[in-house]
Amino acid sequence: MKFTPDGGRIFFRVRETGSADGRAHFRFEMEDTGIGMKPEFLQHIWEPFAQEDGGSRTNYKGTGLGMAITKKFVDMMCGTITVESHLNEGSKFVVELDFEIDQHALTAVETPEETEFHQE
């Protein structure tokens, strides 16, 4: 939200993409129409204290630890995180994780195949 100007859009999608061996695979997508990043910065995004320099980014404060911490958590959970970004168009992050299925919690409740949350 910090890098999405007023009038921009933020999308959060979660999908269960399969299951096997008592584990469910989930795909989390976070996408925005924010300020985006230059391609040459993307190789540094997971580094602690890395912040792209210049332009409107100098208006946003922070320590540059958010993405490094996020990557560490995803790695600890044996998942993956990827990013696509285009300057002045926005960014998309995809996290893929497996979770153990709690057999005792399974019920016959119907749930939607896909749920999206939008903030405008």
Give pLDDT tens digits for 59-87. Answer: 655 558 999 999 999 999 999 999 999 99
Q: What is the Cβ-side half-sphere exposure of residue 103, based on CA atoms within 13 angstroms?
A: 3
Q: Does 57 have pLDDT greater than 50?
A: no
Q: How confident is residue 103, by pLDDT bands cut at 50, 70 and 90?
A: confident
* 114: pLDDT strictly greater than 90: no
Q: What residue segments make up the domains of the chain, in order of their start? A: 1-5+34-100
Distance from C-alpha of 24 to C-alpha of 29, rounded to nearest angstrom: 16
Query: Architecture of domain 1-5+34-100 in CATH?
Result: 2-Layer Sandwich (3.30)
Please tell me whether residue 27 adopts helix, strand or coil conformation.
strand
